[in-house]
Structure 1
Amino acid sequence: MTAAMPLHEPSPYEVLGIPLSAGMREINLAVGPAMREGRFGRQQIQEAAALLRNPERRLELDLQQQLPPDPVDGVAALLGPALAEPLLTVERPALPPEALLVLRRDELLADFADPAPAGVDTDPPVPARFAADLSVLPPIEIPE
Structure 2
Amino acid sequence: MPASERSPYDVLGITPAATPPDVHAAYESALAAATGPAEREACTTAYLHLRNTSRRLGADILEFAAPDSATTAREAFAGVADEPFLAPDAPPPAIPALVVLRRGDTSGDHREPPPTKGTFAIPDRFTATADVLPPVDIPE
User: TM-score scaled to structure 1, two decimals?
Assistant: 0.41
Higher relative contact order (CA 8 A, sep 6+): 2
Normalising by the residue count of structure 2, what TM-score does the alignment of the two structures yield?
0.42
